[in-house]
Amino acid sequence: MLGQALRVLRLIIGWICIIGGLILTISPLPFGFVIVITGVILVGPRDRGLRMVRACWNRTIRSLASSSVPVVATVARRIIAFQSSLEQRIHQWMATHSTPHVVPQRAAAEE
């Protein structure tokens, strides 16, 4: 019961951080992006709402990349390139820093 309440509290605080951070990213304060990242970490990558927001973001950016307005299309393509390179770096970092889940084998008893 307490675990469920803590999980709900964590989700609420995470979404507040995400929304508040997005608001702060357009202000001159430089902490908006950090607050958004904190909120994403609190909510977790498996959250359905967060996955839906990401899918909507990707769809919107891809449609803007094919826009007839050259400035909008260029900015959207640069965002896509930055996002792709960032995801590639994260995958590389995860591959080098993750520990293999190998079960240690016992030495065979000598006869």
Phi-psi sector, 65: left (phi>0), alpha (psi -120 to 50), beta: alpha
Each residue's pLDDT tens digit, 65-106: 998 999 999 999 999 999 899 889 888 888 887 766 666 666
What does the pLDDT read at residue 5? Answer: 87
What does the pLDDT read at residue 78? Answer: 93
Instruction: Kindly state the average pLDDT of the residues 44-56.
Output: 85
Whether the per-residue pLDDT at 14 is higher than 70: the answer is yes
Residue 32 pLDDT grade (very low, low, confident, very high; cuts 50, 70, 90): confident
Instruction: Kindly state the average pLDDT of the residues 24-39.
Output: 82
CB 12 within 8 A of CB 31: no
Structure-block tokens of residue 95: 């591959």
Domain ranges for the chain, please list them. Answer: 1-44, 47-97
What residue type is 19 in one-letter code?
I
Say what the pTM is: 0.61
